[in-house]
Amino acid sequence: MAYVITDDCVACGSCLSECPLEAISEGEIYSIDPDICSDCGTCAEVCPSDAIHPA
């Protein structure tokens, strides 16, 4: 099950460098490609706005 980024995302970039598979895309609100995400949760651990959760 992939992680998702909610509307609470402030696009700070903290999660980008943490994703080992580069599944996160930049934008006003970042997004995670569910086909690439391995459900490791590393991105959620570093998110300062608690915007990343399991789908």
**Phi (first) and psi of residue 4, to 5 degrees:** -130, 155
Quote the tokens at residue 44.
Answer: 């959620």
Residue 49: how many other CB atoms lie within 10 Å: 13
* Predicted local distance difference test score (pLDDT) of residue 1: 81
Along the 55 residues of the chain, how does pLDDT read in single tens digits? Answer: 899 999 999 999 999 999 999 999 999 999 999 999 999 999 999 999 999 999 9
Q: Does domain 1-55 have CATH number 3.40.50.720?
A: no
Contact in structure between 51 and 15 (CB atoms under 8 Å): no
The domain segmentation of the chain, as residue ranges, is 1-55
Continuous H helices in the chain: 42-46
Cα–Cα distance measured from residue 21 to residue 6, given in angstroms and rounded to the nearest whole number: 20
